[in-house]
Amino acid sequence: MICTIQRKTTKHQIDLSKPLDISIPLRASKENVNAWYLDAPEISPVRTENWVGSVKEGGDVNFNNISFNPHSHGTHTECVGHITEEVFSVNQQLKQFFFHAELITVVPEKKGGDYIISRKQLQNVIGNKKREAIVIRTLPNFRDKKNKQYSNTNPPYIEEDGAIYLREKGIKHLLIDLPSVDKEKDDGKLLAHNAFWNTGGDMRMNATITEFIFVANSIKDGAYYVNIQIAPFENDASPSKPILYKIEK
């Protein structure tokens, strides 16, 4: 199914029958991807004295409770409410869902005891391209990103000046295959989050950060449209399912 998207004076065509899913599914397993020192998510049938929500166990339907944290247990999209005293809901801030995006691949640089994504790296890859969204795949890029246990591993992150660059470029939607755009333990500074959302100035209420994506190596760098699908949670973050669509012409 070919769809035409109008962006100002530019028209692009995408094929909706060829989605490229870059989300990580949530599973009730210790093999589920995890960060921030929490136990694995749980999915279990409702049980009462006379009934169980499991067809396998004799119930008439499958009727499960799900316990998880969107920030810890899989692909999620968050708004500025993630770091502000006043709680803002991503469901209220994200009102459009298709964005002209650029997929880039970077190798985080060693800096002291950390690996960082720098402003210079982003400048070199993005150049003068004008995009609404940026999708960052980091190397190495193995399938174990789908079940990696990140707590206490000090994963790579975006340097503050890199996040400022993305904001200055007009990038409204940042997607990355790491548990956070910030350093795991930074004394609560959250430098990249604050810089991207510009919390020290005119806050970018309609800008989002999506973390814990996974972009297969078979998907080539370049221009796409990204469809950021969220569950309608009235919360700072929601589990999400970002989908890339190749630009046909």
Q: Is the pLDDT of residue 109 over 80?
A: yes
**pLDDT at residue number 235:** 98
Q: Show the DSSP H helices in 76-190 as ranges.
A: 90-93, 119-126, 160-168
Mean pLDDT computed over 109-128: 97
Q: Show the DSSP H helices in 6-157 as ranges.
A: 90-93, 119-126
pTM over 0.95? The answer is yes
Q: Is the pLDDT of residue 165 over 90?
A: yes
Mean pLDDT computed over 82-105: 97
Mean pLDDT (the chain) is 97
pLDDT digits (tens, 9 = 90+) for 133-146: 999 999 999 999 99
Domain ranges of the chain: 2-25+73-246
Helix (H) or strand (E) holding 195: helix 191-197
Longest dimension (CA), the chain: 64
Q: Which residues contact 125 (CB under 8 A, 6 or more apart)?
A: 104, 105, 106
3-state secondary structure of 11: strand
SS3 track for 131-159: CCEEEEEECCCCHHHHCCECCCCCCCEEC
Q: Is the pLDDT of residue 9 over 80?
A: no
pLDDT digits (tens, 9 = 90+) for 16-47: 999 999 999 999 999 999 999 999 999 999 99
| Residue 21 backbone phi and psi in degrees, to 5 | -75, 125
**pLDDT at residue number 6:** 83
- Distances, alpha carbon 12 to alpha carbons 3, 16, 104, 135, 230, in Å: 8, 12, 20, 19, 24
**pLDDT at residue number 86:** 94
pLDDT category at 249 given cuts 50, 70, 90 is confident
> Are 85 and 210 in contact, with CB atoms under 8 Å apart?
no
pLDDT category at 212 given cuts 50, 70, 90 is very high
CA 225 – CA 220 distance, rounded (Å): 13
Instruction: Note the CATH number of domain 2-25+73-246.
Output: 3.50.30.50
